[in-house]
Amino acid sequence: RRKKIFDKIEGLSVMRSLRTIEDADVVVLVIAADEGLSDQDARLATLALSKFKPLLIVVNKWDLFPNKETNSSRDYTLDIQEKLRDATFVPVIYASCLENQRIHKIMTAVEELYSSYEKRVGTGKVNEALQRAVLAHTPAILKRYSKRVKFYFATQVSSKPPTIVVKCNVAEEIQESYKRFLVKRLRTDLEYGDIPIRVFFRAKSEDGKRPDRLDREVESELNADAGIEADA
C-alpha cells in the first residue's frame, strides 16, 4: 500500500512538472551532485527539449561532491550529455545553495537563454548561413531522383522558439542526418546560443512564394509542437 501511495505522489509530481514545462519560457532542472541525472530527470529534460524550451541544468551541492579533481566537472558534464544524447549544447552550472557558490550565475544564464529564445534573425543572414552550410557539406545524391537536394531560400518565421522554414525542391527526401547537420549549423552560425531551434523543410510552391508568413501546414505543425531538434 505504501508503494501505491508513493507511486501516486510521484505521478502527480511528474504531471505538475509537465504542466510547468508547457508554461515555462526557460526550464531550470536542478539535480543533486551526489545523485546525478536520474532517468526521470533525463526524461523531463528530453521533454523540455522536445518542446523546444531553453534548458539549464543546475548541479547543486557541488561543494559536497567527493574526491573532486581538476576534470571532475568536465567528466560530470560528459555523463549528463551522454544521457541526453544529442543535446550536448545544454549549459550546466555547478553550484551550492548552502555555500552560495555560483548562485548569481543562474539568473544570468536564464536571461541569456531567454534572449536567445526570443531572438529574430533577418532573412538575408539566414540565407547566408544556409549557403555556408551547404558549401561546407553538400547533400548526397538522391537515388530516387538521380539529383541532389537544391535549397532555394530560408527565413525565420517566428520566435519562442526560433523557427526557420527552408524551401527546397524535394523536402521529403532529405536524409535525417543531413537535417540534423543543417539545424546544428544554423543554430551555431546564427548565434542562437545554447537553445534548441525548430526548422521546417518545405518543397517550394509552384508560385515561388517565399514563406514570410506561416502557411497553414507549418502553422498546424507549430501548434502540434512538431519539427527537427538540433544536436550538438
What domains sit in the chain, N to C, each tagged with a CATH number? 2-117 (3.40.50.300), 123-223 (3.30.300.20)
Is pTM, for the whole model, over 0.85? Answer: no
Query: Could you tell me which of 108, 33, 38 has the C-alpha nearest to residue 68?
Result: 33
- Identity of the highest mean pLDDT range in 134-138, 139-143, 212-216: 134-138
> Is residue 216's pLDDT more than 60?
no
Reading the block at residue 45, the C-alpha cell is: 529534460
Collect all residues with Cβ–Cβ distance below 8 Å to 114 and sequence separation of at least 6: 25, 26, 54
How far is the C-alpha of 196 from the C-alpha of 120, rounded, in Å? 14
How far is the C-alpha of 51 from the C-alpha of 224, rounded, in Å? 10
Q: Which residue has the cell 537535417?
A: 179
How far is the C-alpha of 74 from the C-alpha of 59, rounded, in Å? 12
Reading the block at residue 212, the C-alpha cell is: 514570410
Query: Could you tell me which of 174, 117, 122 has the C-alpha nearest to residue 153?
Result: 122
Tens digits of per-residue pLDDT, 152-211?
999 999 999 999 999 998 888 888 999 999 999 999 999 999 999 999 999 876 444 554
Beta strands per DSSP E along 66-209? 92-94, 141-142, 147-148, 151-158, 163-168, 198-203
* Three-state DSSP class for residue 198: strand
Residue 219: which pLDDT band, with cuts at 50, 70 and 90? Answer: low
How far is the C-alpha of 90 from the C-alpha of 81, rounded, in Å? 8
Per-residue CA distances from 140 to 76, 115, 128, 148 (Å):
37, 36, 21, 6
Residue 232: which pLDDT band, with cuts at 50, 70 and 90? Answer: very low
Mean of the per-residue pLDDT values for the chain? Answer: 84
